[in-house]
Structure 1
Amino acid sequence: MNANEIKYIKGVGPKRAEILAEAGILTPDDLVTYFPVSYIDRNARTTISNLFRELGSQDMIDVELTSSVRFRSISTIVAKIIKKSENSFGKKRKFLKLTLSDGSGTNASIFFWNYVQYYSKHYQEGQILAVSGKAEIDKYNSVNFSHPEIDILESDDARMYESGMILPKYRITEKMTKGGITNKMLSNIINQLLESNTIRLSESLPDTIRKTLNMPDIKSTVLNLHFPQSEDLLKRARWRIKFEEIFYFLMKVESIKHKSKTSENAYLIEGKSKLARQLYDSLPFKLTSDQKKVLNEIAADFRSGQAMNRLLQGDVGSGKTIVAALSILMAIDAGFQCGLMAPTEILAEQHYSNLSKVFEPLGLEIFRLMGGQSSKQRKYALEKIADGTAHLIIGTHAMFSENIMYKNLAYLVIDEQHRFGVKQRGDLINLSKNSSESKVMPHVLVMSATPIPRTLTMTVYGDLDVSIIKTMPKNRIPIKTYVSFDSKREEIYDFVRRNASDGGQTFIVFPLVEKSEKMEELKSATEHFEFLSKDIFPELQCGLVHGQMHWSEKEEAMQKFLAKEYDILVATTVIEVGIDIPNANIMLIENAERFGLSQLHQLRGRVGRGTRESYCILMTKD
């Protein structure tokens, strides 16, 4: 078999090979390393009537759809949909009810309170479902499944449930589904490859490490990741893979550290800065002691003759940006160019807007480098950067492009360091090659509002000196954070309405842009925008922003929110970093359990930037 062609594998063919290629599966090796995203343990399969007796319920078992689980004490039923009905409650609200039977004498019901139209098309009478979750008695004395997972079964799947196997669940894209690639089919293809002699799995970890840590070999690891014989073997296989990922990640980090430390020549930035003094004297507030300390540390690095590599940590609103602005002026006053890099175009645009107001009165030229620019704008900016007219360049990762020639880029500030990967940090070394006057490393300041544990800082950012701004500016009002549940949703919506009538604004953040068939329990921004704007808040002005929009559309939505044309902005995590909306004082996060702590911390920081009392509300299932 040609290693670059999977179309010859039994069950694939040319059309399905094209679909798999779009998911990054190009070769047989890609297939066997396309690991499951979750697993379903069917050892606890039972009947509806058994659950009825065990839990002491009455006639009907209610199963409410929430999020999936992995290896809990679960019960599983396999039953057929015998009836599907849409019902109404309240004003204009509908819910979907599926009635299930497994022939044991008692029926079960599944209720869908959201996405009724979607689920009504997704589930049909006659389908066989597997429903798994922790069974419990609810307040109506009915049996409920806590966080169940629901699968539509094929006939082969139903037989596998009988065997009590641990079943792999793969990420199946919408195009895969339309192309006839099911979870079962993918599982069969991978099993076929693993049983053949086509794949040669080579051991990548040194034997000494593997044997010392009692790790399984690569062949049994891959086999148990796809088709685990027990929960224990699966845990060992997953541990081996996670260890391997971290091991090679740290190898890459060490390589970058070594390259950084061998590039010691740096621009000398000495003397007092008149520009920095002008800005400092014009500030309507006093710098905190921590801000002054960090500025002194940066100034000392500038004078050292070695390239600065400094991490600046500080909570949202602690004043990192003004420290960066003052240090940039030090470098510009010494005759050098500076760069400010942001992870998103929205944040880069905001930095450009804010710093232009401060720097242009000082006679300084600021230029942008972003993906959404016209070719004419970009060409003009590149000319001004090359001839030294540009004092400050603000942009995204486009600043790393090889076709950009800086005159003397001496200082680079990277905002929200955690959003840049190891590769981008390594690319900083290449910036020294893109300077017409010198081939030395620029000074680098990376900023992050994300609290980074000391041990992680030492491991991943070990090549950086660390400065911390602990002291918050005076008169900053703390953000109140609450966890709330679906049962309190109407109260939360009333709170948002009262806040809007009082002149406040609200972010409502969702984990997805669009509804996902494979993540049914997660809410999407686009679908809920229609629901919220028409059914829940018809009297308020609602806007929408997400990552799939063109940068100009995102910018327009943010500017309208800033101008108070919207009372509510429905969004995804595209607003996670750096957006400054002083009047926004409520951050409502849907499916909060699906976000990482870093994301939640960043999202909470989008409010509390003005004089209003601010709130962060984390919504999750009951």
Structure 2
Amino acid sequence: MIDLEKDIQYVKGIGPKKAYKLNKLGIFTLKDLLFYFPRQFEDRNNLKKIAQLQNDEKATIKAIIVSVNTTSPKKGMTLTKIDIKDETGYAKLAFFNQPHIKNLYKCGDTILVFGKVKKEFKTIELSSCEIEHLTNDPKNTCKVMPIYPLTYGVTNKEIISIIKSVLNNEEIRIKEYLPQRIIEKYKLCSIDYAIRNIHNPTTKDALKIALYRIVFEEFLILQLGLFMFKNGTTEVDGIKFNRNEKLDNILDALPFKLTNAQNRALNEIIEDMESNKVMNRLVQGDVGSGKTVVALLALANCVLNGYQGALMAPTEILAEQHYISLSETLKPFGIEIELLVGSLTKKQKEKVLERVKNKEIDILIGTHALIEDKVEFNNLGIVITDEQHRFGVRQRSKLSEKGINPDILVMTATPIPRTLALILYGDLDISIIDELPPGRQPIETLAIDKGKRDKAYNSLVRREVEKGRQVYIVCPLVEESEAIEAKAATELVEELKLEYFSDLRVGLLHGKMKASEKDEIMKSFKNKEIDILVSTTVIEVGVNVPNATLMIIENAERFGLAQLHQLRGRVGRGSHKSYCILIYASKSEVCRQRMSIMEETNDGFKISEKDLEIRGPGEFFGTRQHGLPELKVANIFKHMKILKLAQQEARYIIGLDYKLQNNENKMLKREILTKFEHSVKEISLN
């Protein structure tokens, strides 16, 4: 049996050149290659007569070649046209820049063709064709064909050929790692059968059986890994807090009453804190629903019980905002709060670290700086991460390791559909704040095409500024790098100053700025020294400027729906009517659908459901969850029933053997550890 961890370069028929291309696709070992699954399947079994072909469909036909001609419509381009016929009619095939075709086929040859049909008047043409001579064993037609996610100069035919030659090697056997009990219980095929039939389906039924196995396994491994990762907090005793009577004094001192949803979330948190198990709770709430005050009260209860609290935010701006908010409310009650961020001087940091260690600080708020090794708490009782999807699994864990089984609270303003939350957070308890504080007006959203951009700037922006309000303008999303995004933002500012707003105060905020510069710009904007703030997505999270009433997002089609909703949530934070203008350039149907969703609803949960449907769970957060294995085949919408079965089985396994130490689970455990890479440090291999 060949070792599946073998370097791909040394697999027969591959070599250094092909290996280099495969490496670019993330394929480094033989196992990577075998588990590089198709993104979709094309049914080329649909054999039709020429007269039956419908416009825009993809179909396979059997025909005879009538003529073959190659021309050069323009310099550097060749067009090969083949006229074909069958007993029902005539058609044409078009091949761009494939001059070799004319040497492979001649008049009178019987061929099989798969392509996209274009019918105009009486002419039928097939483009993007796969063509081959008629044989008893066609390679590219008359079968279900896997279509792989490809870039970096590897063609679909090439990867099919490479995988086929590997699987034809009799020494290749993929060893089973699921317990036999699970295979029998859920009627799963073996992993070897699944891999062979996902890459080269013998029949449609064989493909169905293979996909069922892979989907079930992906959900099971993800869920088990998360349960195992979390078992350290659910199985051990935590701190038993009491609801301190002074907490009611803090509640009474708040300048507003909590909403019913906030009260419900707070009661769930306090109940967790009063139990002797470690709290592990996710608080979901839409933009502006008031999660921070709930976190503040949980931290206060912890401190009133004699412990320290930590609150980690993804950006310095947000950490500082939390620091100001908590200080205003809690310092009058003698609770000492401090900020630890990267922009502090060495001397300032050392002072904060010394005071935390000596328990002179009750609540420490900060960014990633909180998880540095130098940070030592005296008796950490609760750990809160805000906008937690910005942090990896390991980062969150590292913060909680600074105490002895502290309670854990994670917060997000990206409303996650409950199903996805269950996958991402295992068996986290979930609190949902689904009610906005009274007085908050819904934001009016309008999507316009690029042709109306001038009107938006010349009338809407000026109208708001003349009212004494302020405006955000968000730059198009650039994937390449933060540096390119910063350059694009700088160029947009120059264009806006030159063409539209030479008389207004325009500021700039982007990710390449130093933290101190970002803070300075945001302070100026908050203090109404800037009329228009041009920004990249660094303002997506947490920035609170009640006087900002208009948000314009350039090239809105480049953003995910959840991200657009997050950005929109930067306005409408005061008592004034607020607006969001989405400027789009794309004319696609998908773009039209997405813009309509944003215009129709301010409900983050509805938007997140749609975002998940359109973009899939892999990209849902913009940044993939660090350390979590990717769902390559499983889809939580299409495979909901299988997901529920896998979750049920994962709970059953963990209930009996939460460390997966029984013999039947050892192979499965190794697979989980491999898939989760280094994120599940707690799980040993013994």
Matched, 1:431 2:400: yes
What is the Cα deviation at residue 339 of structure 1? 0.9
CA deviations over 1:413-436 (Å, ceiling 9, x no partner): 2223455566666x37x835x34x
Choose the corresponding residue for 1:474, options 438, 460, 474: 438
TM-score (norm 1): 0.67
Choose the corresponding residue for 2:572, options 596, 600, 608: 608
Question: Which residue in the other structure is 2:339 paired with?
Answer: 367
- Code of the aligned partner of 2:551: I
- Code of the aligned partner of 1:411: I
CA deviations over 1:480-499 (Å, ceiling 9, x no partner): 456x58xx442366335533
5 Å-filtered alignment, 1:103-142, equals 103=82
The verdict on how the C-alpha distance between 1:108 and 1:196 changes in structure 2, with shifts beyond 3 A counting, is closer
Matched, 1:501 2:474: no
Question: Which residue in the other structure is 1:59 paired with?
Answer: none
5 Å-filtered alignment, 1:176-325, equals 176-177=152-153, 181-197=154-170, 199-228=172-201, 233-256=206-229, 258-266=231-239, 268=241, 271-273=244-246, 277=249, 281=253, 283=255, 285-325=256-296
Secondary structure of 1:210's match? helix
Count of residues in Structure 1 that have an aligned counterpart in Structure 2: 542
User: Following the alignment from structure 2 to structure 1, what is the Cα–Cα distance between the partners of residues 193 and 364?
Assistant: 52
Question: Which residue in the other structure is 1:585 paired with?
Answer: 550
User: Following the alignment from structure 1 to structure 2, what is the Cα–Cα distance between the partners of residues 367 and 578?
Assistant: 17
Stretch moving more, 219-228 or 580-589: 580-589
- Code of the aligned partner of 1:614: Y
CA contact (8 A) 1:309 1:445 kept: yes
What is the Cα deviation at residue 244 of structure 1? 0.8
- Code of the aligned partner of 1:318: S
CA deviations over 1:101-153 (Å, ceiling 9, x no partner): 745599999xxxxxxxxxxxxx989899x99778699xxx999x9xx9x9899
- Code of the aligned partner of 2:455: D
Secondary structure of 1:499's match? helix
Matched, 1:163 2:129: no
What is the Cα deviation at residue 615 of structure 1? 3.0
- Code of the aligned partner of 1:312: V
Secondary structure of 1:325's match? helix
The verdict on how the C-alpha distance between 1:599 and 1:151 changes in structure 2, with shifts beyond 3 A counting, is farther
The verdict on how the C-alpha distance between 1:349 and 1:235 changes in structure 2, with shifts beyond 3 A counting, is farther
TM-score (norm 2): 0.61
What is the Cα deviation at residue 238 of structure 1? 3.3
The verdict on how the C-alpha distance between 1:213 and 1:300 changes in structure 2, with shifts beyond 3 A counting, is closer
What is the Cα deviation at residue 291 of structure 1? 2.9
Question: Which residue in the other structure is 1:411 paired with?
Answer: 382
User: Following the alignment from structure 2 to structure 1, what is the Cα–Cα distance between the partners of residues 456 and 568?
Assistant: 17
User: Following the alignment from structure 1 to structure 2, what is the Cα–Cα distance between the partners of residues 307 and 205?
Assistant: 31
User: Following the alignment from structure 1 to structure 2, what is the Cα–Cα distance between the partners of residues 27 and 378?
Assistant: 45
User: Following the alignment from structure 2 to structure 1, what is the Cα–Cα distance between the partners of residues 225 and 238?
Assistant: 23
What is the Cα deviation at residue 28 of structure 1? 1.4
Stretch moving more, 99-108 or 14-23: 99-108
Question: Which residue in the other structure is 1:394 paired with?
Answer: 365
User: Following the alignment from structure 1 to structure 2, what is the Cα–Cα distance between the partners of residues 318 and 614?
Assistant: 18
User: Following the alignment from structure 2 to structure 1, what is the Cα–Cα distance between the partners of residues 326 and 213?
Assistant: 48
User: Following the alignment from structure 1 to structure 2, what is the Cα–Cα distance between the partners of residues 466 and 195?
Assistant: 49
Q: Unaligned regions of 5+ residues in structure 2, if any?
A: 62-67, 84-89, 102-112, 590-686
- Code of the aligned partner of 2:480: E
Question: Which residue in the other structure is 1:337 paired with?
Answer: 308
- Code of the aligned partner of 1:163: T
User: Following the alignment from structure 1 to structure 2, what is the Cα–Cα distance between the partners of residues 473 and 511?
Assistant: 31
Secondary structure of 1:252's match? helix
User: Following the alignment from structure 1 to structure 2, what is the Cα–Cα distance between the partners of residues 124 and 536?
Assistant: 43
Question: Which residue in the other structure is 1:513 paired with?
Answer: 479
What is the Cα deviation at residue 454 of structure 1? 5.4
User: Following the alignment from structure 1 to structure 2, what is the Cα–Cα distance between the partners of residues 366 and 330?
Assistant: 17
The verdict on how the C-alpha distance between 1:352 and 1:584 changes in structure 2, with shifts beyond 3 A counting, is farther
CA deviations over 1:50-86 (Å, ceiling 9, x no partner): 99x965xxxxxxx9xxxxxxxxx5469999995579x
User: Following the alignment from structure 1 to structure 2, what is the Cα–Cα distance between the partners of residues 564 and 163?
Assistant: 66
The verdict on how the C-alpha distance between 1:248 and 1:461 changes in structure 2, with shifts beyond 3 A counting, is same
What is the Cα deviation at residue 245 of structure 1? 1.1
CA contact (8 A) 1:342 1:396 kept: yes
Question: Which residue in the other structure is 1:118 paired with?
Answer: none
Question: Which residue in the other structure is 1:444 paired with?
Answer: 408
Matched, 1:5 2:24: no
Secondary structure of 2:310's match? strand
User: Following the alignment from structure 2 to structure 1, what is the Cα–Cα distance between the partners of residues 69 and 344?
Assistant: 56
Q: Unaligned regions of 5+ residues in structure 1, if any?
A: 56-62, 64-72, 86-97, 110-122, 516-523
User: Following the alignment from structure 1 to structure 2, what is the Cα–Cα distance between the partners of residues 4 and 391?
Assistant: 53
Secondary structure of 1:7's match? helix
Secondary structure of 1:190's match? helix
User: Following the alignment from structure 2 to structure 1, what is the Cα–Cα distance between the partners of residues 496 and 81?
Assistant: 38
Aligned-residue Cα RMSD (Å) equals 5.5
Secondary structure of 2:408's match? strand
Question: Which residue in the other structure is 1:521 paired with?
Answer: none
Choose the corresponding residue for 1:30, options 32, 36, 50: 32
